[in-house]
Amino acid sequence: MKQLYGAAALGVAAVLFAGISGTEVMAQELENAADKAAQGAFEYLYLEERGSSDTNEMKIVIQLSYSEEAPASAQLQFHYEGDSESEIVDASQIAERTVTFTQGFDDATKTAVLDTISWTENDTVYTVDFAENQIEIAGNDEQTENANTALLYLADGTQKEVPVSEEPIRIEEMQEAVAQPEVDEAIAKEDAQEETDRDSYTGGELFTDVKKENWFYPAVSYVMNKGLMTGMVNGGFGPNEELSKVQFTVVLYRMDGSPEVRLSANTLSIPENAYYAPAVYWANQEGLLDRSQSNSIKPEDQITREEMISMLFRYAQYKGFDTQERADLSQFAGAEKVSPSAKEAISWAVATGMISGEGKDRLLNPQGSASRAVCAAMITHLCETYMPNAFANIPIYAKANNIAFTSVNQETGDFTVTVSGITASDDVKKVEVALWRDSNQGDICWYPAVAQGNGVYAIKGNVVNHKLHFGVYQAQAYVTLVNGLRIPAGIQSGTIEGSEAKIRISNHVNDVYDQVGHDLYACYKWVVDNVSYKKLPISVEPKEGYTADQWYAVLAFENHQGNCFCYVGAFYQLAKGLGYDAKYVEGKVAMASGGYGPHGWVEITKDGATYICDPDMQDEAPRYNFYMQPANSPVIKYVR
């Protein structure tokens, strides 16, 4: 169970916690921005159970807000309720802006009061001090009263009891539980509207192919936030995609409020159930289509720049706007290519600043295709010039109430991350999770989430996709709406633990099993046939975290070459994986030149007898059998 609190919205200045399993607490951000700059701040704090319940060992993690690099050191100071002496815990791990403390609590029913958190960056010490205001989480002892509630203590001395639930409590729900001071209703309404307008406006970078430095960024942001143009099914805006006539007609129809039309009264030869049918019927009725083409419009017809401007000109006239401005087109290159029927509209567009020509020659390019970015720019210009307050920003948001690392297999490296409690401004088309551990996101991997029912989405990943990294991962959820917008919906950290060596070897071993089956001799033959001899230092220093047999096995599996110990390491792992009583042996064998030299082999005990398998010698002397040699009568003399 995890418990989540948006304390920043509540003016809470301290957190109390008990050593209970899986409880998470979002810590208070300091209220004053100047205080933040002077004292430092963090975004959240959470507690996480580690080990057995007997140890009461917890990991306490804070996420720093303003640091740009990993702190040099960090400390957490707390005291048990009723005790006057404080205890100090040094950080057990620091990774970029995430600081982890590991602490064992001697009694799960005690309440620990957080005093301060401090960290050092560039010789500057930042400290967050906590005052009297507190959130208290009860211990997990079943006999403890109110074990399923949290108490919120306010500055005025009152307190509110908040139920603990399996799902995280949203900030809005916490706010409802707190008595709010009386304020002027009109001022509150105005402030709320300003906040709504501010929060609902989101930049065009929500589209995967739009960046702030693009010339079309302001226009794409405008048409997106006004609900006039949406994105593509792949989560992009498609700024360079050519626009069809019917698509542009749909945009104008949307601008006009999508009025009802009488489909049966039209003679246009288009399907009545086509998505663009109402828009085309409306445009035809209002005289926005070129009369010479209105009866032959097809969905695949691309719109030219002069056709788009002509339709915008007719729309402006239809709306009763002042369209008297004209410009001299003779100063523009390509003016002679403007169709006679479009000259008036082009002259108006130049005079109003809607278009200015391309390049130093100011090329009009009237017959050129019109992209979605060009459409967004022209629509934005029309709206801001003639009806700047006509369209309110539509809500655009997506939030996930909970992102959780629900299972981690420490042997295989498989893990599951679930995303739940999604709220969005439109229907959800898909959910993705970006996951990484490296601070530079060098191991980032994107996973499509699969709906599990009840609004829960899950991804299944493996640390192999992340360079076999372990530790604190970041999981960023993205929600793609049906309108094509892909919105970051929340981020959460979680710890993935395991053995790189075990997982790395397990993957290689399973790959061999997939090739030859679960047969000992077939695995023996695979090593003989797929590893070639290469002289290596004796002995090779294993990578940190690996035993000698594991490291030799990795060299054989991944390089397909190595010395006798590499042969043996690979076969030993394969035999062990099949359940055999196998031993990796480093010993000596008699040399043809006399004396003994270092050598490795595998000993397998079966039915009370011991056998020697030597894939390296099998490769060197294939006419002899070095597979399952009775230990008391081997082909050559082995000395342990």
Instruction: Give the DSSP H or E segment for 629.
Output: strand 629-630
Structural tokens at position 607: 């039915």
Q: Which residues contact 539 (CB under 8 A, 6 or more apart)?
A: 548, 565, 586
Could you tell me which residue, 69 or 177, shows the higher pLDDT? 69
Q: One fold for both 7-176 and 398-496?
A: yes
Contact 76, 101 (CB under 8 A): yes
Could you tell me which residue, 460 or 363, shows the higher pLDDT? 460
3-class DSSP state of 312: helix
d(CA 244, CA 226) in angstroms, rounded, equals 21
pLDDT above 70 for 289: yes
pLDDT above 60 for 508: yes
pLDDT at 57: 62
d(CA 192, CA 199) in angstroms, rounded, equals 10
> DSSP label at 335?
G
CA-based nearest residue to 545, from 469, 599, 493, 603: 469
Mean of per-residue pLDDT scores for the chain: 76
pLDDT above 80 for 516: yes
User: Which residues, listed in sequence order, are joined to residue 432 by a DSSP beta bridge?
Assistant: 448, 478
Contact 399, 489 (CB under 8 A): yes
d(CA 270, CA 236) in angstroms, rounded, equals 28
d(CA 514, CA 574) in angstroms, rounded, equals 12
Strand 581-590 versus strand 450-453 pairing type:
unpaired
d(CA 474, CA 444) in angstroms, rounded, equals 9
Structural tokens at position 350: 């130049």
pLDDT at 177: 35
Structural tokens at position 401: 């109430």
Ranking 59-68, 427-436, 463-472, 599-608 by mean pLDDT, the lowest is 59-68
3-state secondary structure 433-473: EEEECCCCCCCCEEEECEEEECCEEEEEEEHHHHCCCCEEE
Could you tell me which residue, 107 or 465, shows the higher pLDDT? 465
Tell me the torsion sign for CA atoms 515, 520, 522, 528.
positive
pLDDT above 80 for 107: no
pLDDT at 481: 86
Side chain identity, residue 519: D
CA-based nearest residue to 202, from 429, 493, 489: 489
Domain boundaries, the chain: 7-176, 204-386, 398-496, 500-639
Of the CA atoms within 13 Å of residue 625, those in its CB half-sphere come to 7
217-244 pLDDT tens trace: 999 999 998 989 988 766 789 999 999 9
Structural tokens at position 414: 């498989």
pLDDT above 60 for 24: no
pLDDT interval class at 567 (50, 70, 90): very high
3-class DSSP state of 405: strand
> DSSP label at 294?
T
Q: Which of 97-111, 182-196, 576-590 has the highest mean pLDDT?
A: 576-590
User: In angstroms, what CA-CA distances link 341 with 309, 314, 344, 346, 418?
Assistant: 11, 12, 7, 10, 58
- Structural domain 500-639, CATH architecture: Roll (3.10)
> DSSP label at 217?
H
CA-based nearest residue to 379, from 522, 511, 216: 216
3-class DSSP state of 568: helix
370-381 pLDDT tens trace: 999 999 999 999
d(CA 198, CA 276) in angstroms, rounded, equals 32
pLDDT at 138: 32
pLDDT interval class at 274 (50, 70, 90): confident
d(CA 365, CA 349) in angstroms, rounded, equals 13
3-class DSSP state of 170: coil
Q: What are phi and psi of 252, to 5 degrees?
A: -65, -40
pLDDT at 517: 96
pLDDT above 90 for 129: no
User: How many other C-beta atoms lie within 10 A of the C-beta of residue 591?
Assistant: 11
pLDDT above 60 for 180: no
pLDDT above 50 for 174: no
pLDDT interval class at 592 (50, 70, 90): confident
3-state secondary structure 79-139: EECCCCCCEEEECCEEECCEEEEEEECCCCCCEEEEEEEEEEECCEEEEEECCCCCEEECC
d(CA 10, CA 28) in angstroms, rounded, equals 8
CA-based nearest residue to 492, from 198, 112, 63: 63
User: Which residues, listed in sequence order, are joined to residue 102 by a DSSP beta bridge?
Assistant: 59
pLDDT at 183: 45
* List of long-range contacts for 633-638, beta carbons under 8 Å, 24+ apart: 636/589, 636/590, 637/589, 637/590, 638/585, 638/587, 638/588, 638/589, 638/599, 638/601, 638/612
pLDDT interval class at 295 (50, 70, 90): low
Strand 98-104 versus strand 42-50 pairing type:
unpaired
pLDDT at 555: 93
User: In angstroms, what CA-CA distances link 640 with 25, 178, 518, 603, 632?
Assistant: 57, 74, 29, 11, 13
Q: Which of 1-15, 312-326, 469-483 has the highest mean pLDDT?
A: 312-326
Range 553-582 average pLDDT: 95
3-class DSSP state of 255: helix
pLDDT above 60 for 316: yes
Residue that has been written with the tokens 């970041």 in this structure: 474
426-461 pLDDT tens trace: 899 899 999 998 888 888 899 999 999 988 999 999
Cis peptide before 539 (omega within 30 of 0): yes
The radius of gyration computed from the CA coordinates of the chain, to the nearest angstrom, equals 35
Range 571-596 average pLDDT: 91
Side chain identity, residue 258: S
Instruction: Give the DSSP H or E segment for 171.
Output: helix 171-176
Q: Which residues contact 328 (CB under 8 A, 6 or more apart)?
A: 347
CA-based nearest residue to 139, from 127, 125, 149, 131: 149
Q: What are phi and psi of 613, to 5 degrees?
A: -120, 130
Could you tell me which residue, 45 or 630, shows the higher pLDDT? 630
> DSSP label at 302?
B
Ranking 89-103, 194-208, 228-242, 488-502 by mean pLDDT, the lowest is 194-208
Complete edge-to-edge strand list for the sheet that includes strand 24-25: 24-25, 42-50, 57-64, 98-104, 93-95
Range 26-38 average pLDDT: 31
d(CA 137, CA 291) in angstroms, rounded, equals 72
pLDDT at 123: 65
% of the chain exceeding 70 in pLDDT = 71
Question: Can you spell out the DSSP letters for 142-155?
Answer: TTSTTTTEEEEE-T
pLDDT at 63: 61
d(CA 348, CA 309) in angstroms, rounded, equals 9
Tell me the torsion sign for CA atoms 529, 532, 537, 543.
negative
pLDDT above 80 for 58: no
Fold of 7-176: Immunoglobulin-like (2.60.40)
Contact 113, 25 (CB under 8 A): no
Could you tell me which residue, 46 or 257, shows the higher pLDDT? 257
Structural tokens at position 284: 């035809």
d(CA 310, CA 297) in angstroms, rounded, equals 16
pLDDT at 394: 84
% of the chain exceeding 90 in pLDDT = 38
Range 457-469 average pLDDT: 90
The CATH label, of 3.90.79.10, 3.30.565.10, 3.40.50.10780, 2.60.40.3760, for the domain at 398-496 is 2.60.40.3760
pLDDT above 60 for 108: no
Q: Which of 11-15, 369-373, 412-416 has the highest mean pLDDT?
A: 369-373
Could you tell me which residue, 589 or 33, shows the higher pLDDT? 589
pLDDT interval class at 31 (50, 70, 90): very low
What length is written for the chain?
Answer: 640
Side chain identity, residue 188: A
